Amino acid sequence: MKITSSAKQEKIRLNRNNIRTVSAALRAVLLFLILLSIILTLAPQRDFESYPKKEAAVISRVTITVNGKTKDMQLPCTIRTKKARTQVTVTFQVPKRAEARDMLYVKTVYCPLTVSLNGRTLAQLGDLSYYPSFMRDPATEVRFVALPSDAGERTITLTYLSPEGRDYIALHAPIIGKVGPVTSVLRQDRQFPFALALLQIFIGVSVMLVTASALRRESDIRAVFWLGLFSLCAGIWELGENNLTLLLFDKPALLYILDFMGLECLLIPFIRFLRCILDLTRARLIVPLDCLAAAAPIVSLTLQLTGTVPLYQSIKFFHILIPTGFLYILFHSLREYCRKRDSNSLHIVFSLLILFTSATLEALNYYLRLLWQNALLFEAGMTIFILYSGFLSVRYFYMTSRQRKKMETDMRMMTIEAREQKKHSLLIMENERKTRALRHDMRQSLIAIKSLAEQNNTAKLIRYIDSLVDHIPSTVRTYCDNPMINAIVSYYASACEQQGIEFEAHLAIAADDTAMQIQDVDLCAVFGNLLENALEACERMETGRRFVTLNSICHLNTLTIVMDNSYDGKAERSGELFRSGKRDNGEVGIGLSSIRGIARMYSGDARFDADGTVFRSSVYMHLQ
């Protein structure tokens, strides 16, 4: 099989790049695991090992009183209220197995809450006096409330006041037990989403930091930057929805803002990302949709800051806008796939379908309460989309990088080929010029010869003819059957002859590179670099015999090239190669490195040795 130089060079480079990529990925994973471990250890887990999990009791059966009507219900549940600040009372008995040091875990969503034990107030959550003036309802709060070790029957009353921006109250089941077991119950449901949120934030921040410096230089990098911002927004929203975050970070008002802003800003990087990787010129509404996605969060936040509409009300608009935006882009990406029928478009359609389905199911779950664990469906869909899109982006840049490097290699080889061909052309032109000059003088020479012949001056005639022979330019000598290699060798042979350098070459190179299984451009690079280095080494000699001897042979499917040339004896070795005499910094010569690199591409190698004033070069390459 024919092996191209660019493909083999790419294989060597890609192996090195793959090692660096894997190493960087392992360091990134390690950093994430360390970050995750630190954050998880900050969760309240005091005395976790000393208390069995069975000591945490989830209170699901309670008595609820609304507007004087009392009934037994099961938590979690939703209670409809006709007007704001309607009092909803939840009553239950503390389990008899509860002991001293027990805690009561409670959660309230946009409602002021008072926790009482036997009529005595233990704690108040959602006190608006601790919130900014623009918030008409408190944010979501969770808290551990210490239970007194009173003897006898203990009745806990949770008194909620319905929010102004909703016509219902979402009641969540309280938990009683030691801090460790209660936290364990919470982590059973929320630890995995919490870890996914941290992963998305880590990916988003890392990608944005890596790509930010290259945004202006590489337009393709923008797609990865927007994907990183999308991952960051998704992670912030998911953290805000997680109960563990509320336990770790007791800033409910700040989390409230970040939670909704993370979700409402999702469409901005999403649309920008897809505009970078998809041809959406046929999507006429994409620009208005992009503008709407950027303006809507600003309007929503402004309405909240002015106290007009809370974020948990304006989010209903985004429950329509986000799935609609996903569906619109999914439709046009499907059209793009039908038009192009390429695998990349199909991958994008698949990832968008997952994202749209999860967003639609999450919006339905928000209103129908199919699952009480909010954000789980959409979080799973976004995680799949981010990882899948990231994989597609990495693969795209990998393929693009390979193509660019291949083009650079081909251009470099074409430059070498053109340079060597130019040398051969110059040699032919010089001989042609001399031939024309000789032809111009031929008439006068023939007249002189005729005159000497008529005079029977044989000795002078012979001397004159000898001088003419000496001035006739020699033709370009054929050193091998390959015209490209012959041109290079002829050029350097002529250069050596002009400078009085002895030159001898015996080559066995086939005319067709397909028979050799080695590309002409690679052979040109090897012979050109060898002869150029030899000529320069001889030129630097001030005394002594100057010579260049070049030989090559094909035997047992191996091309062997051997060259000896004189030099001034000043050679400084660097590893297996020699430092360049043309560079002040003492770096290894590019020519020697190039020769070795090409030889290894063909499962061969190159060796260079200095023996007194003789520099020896040996190169071998396998033909198959």
Q: What percent of the chain has pLDDT over 70?
A: 78
Is 202's pLDDT higher than 60? yes
Q: Are both 249 and 355 inside the same structural domain?
A: yes
Name every residue whose Cβ is closer than 8 Å to that of residue 558 and which is 6 or more positions away in sequence.
604, 620, 621, 622, 623
Query: For the CA atoms of 436, 441, 443, 448, what is the dihedral angle to 10 degrees?
Result: -150
What's the pLDDT band for 32 if we cut at 50, 70, 90?
Answer: low
The mean pLDDT value for 512-526 works out to 74
Domain, as residue range, for 546 = 476-624
Split at pLDDT 50, 70, 90, the class of 46 is very low
Residue 534 in contact with residue 574, Cβ under 8 Å? no
pLDDT at residue 50 in the model: 37
Question: Does residue 93 sit in the same domain as residue 209?
Answer: no
What's the pLDDT score for residue 617? 93
Q: How many helices (H) and strands (E) does the chain have?
A: 15, 19
Whether 235 and 103 map to the same domain: the answer is no
Kindly state whether residues 106 and 207 are assigned to the same domain: no
DSSP category for residue 136: S
Of 384, 407, 430, the domain-final residue? 407
Weakest mean pLDDT among 203-207, 263-267, 434-438: 434-438
Cα separation, 536 vs 147, in Å, equals: 92
CATH code of 623's domain: 3.30.565.10
Tens digit of pLDDT for each residue in 560-604? Answer: 999 999 998 887 776 666 766 555 545 556 678 778 888 888 889
Residue 27 belongs to a domain:
no
Structural domain contains residue 443:
no
In-domain check, residue 596: yes
Please give the pLDDT value at position 156.
92
**CATH code, 335:** 1.20.1070
pTM of the model: 0.61
User: Is 182 within a domain?
Assistant: no
Among 147, 173, 199, identify where a domain stops: 173
Do 526 and 572 share a structural domain? yes
The CATH code of the domain that includes 77 is: 2.60.120.260
Q: Tens digit of pLDDT for each residue in 476-485?
A: 578 888 887 8
Mean pLDDT of 128-144: 89
Q: How confident is the model at residue 51 (pLDDT cuts 50, 70, 90)?
A: very low
pLDDT of 452: 74
pLDDT grade, residue 551 (50/70/90)? very high
Element (H, E) at 526: helix 520-539
Q: What is the pLDDT of residue 52?
A: 44
Instruction: Please list the residues that pair with 559 across neighbouring strands.
Output: 554, 621
Domain check: are 169 and 196 in the same one? no
Q: Assess whether 240 and 284 both reside in one domain.
A: yes
User: Is residue 181 domain-resident?
Assistant: no
User: 115, 145, 173: which is the final residue of a domain?
Assistant: 173
Based on the domain organization, do 571 and 526 belong to the same domain? Answer: yes
Within a domain: residue 13? no
Using CA atoms, how far apart are residues 40 and 44, in angstroms rounded to an integer? 9
Residues 356 and 489 in one domain: no
Same domain, 234 and 148: no
| Residue 250, in any domain of the structure | yes
Q: Looking at residue 166, what is its pLDDT?
A: 86
pLDDT of 151 reads: 54
Mean pLDDT of 153-158: 86
Tens of pLDDT, residues 68-122: 899 999 998 889 988 889 999 999 988 665 566 688 999 999 999 999 988 889 9
Are β-strands 502-506 and 547-555 bridged in parallel, bridged antiparallel, or unpaired?
parallel
The mean predicted confidence, pLDDT, of the chain is 80
Judge whether 162 lies within some domain: yes
Residue with tokens 């470099």: 412
Residue 93: C-alpha distances to residues 70, 401, 464 (Å): 16, 67, 133
CA atoms within 13 A on the CB side of 343: 3
156 and 215 both lie in a single domain: no
Q: Note whether 316 and 402 are same-domain residues.
A: yes
Question: Euclidean distance between the first and final Cα of the chain, in Å?
Answer: 7
The pLDDT, as a whole number, for residue 48 is: 33
Count of the separate structural domains present in the chain? 3
For 8-17, 241-250, 359-368, which range has the lowest pLDDT when averaged over its residues?
8-17
Tens-place pLDDT, residues 309-356: 999 999 889 989 988 988 988 888 888 788 777 777 788 888 888 888
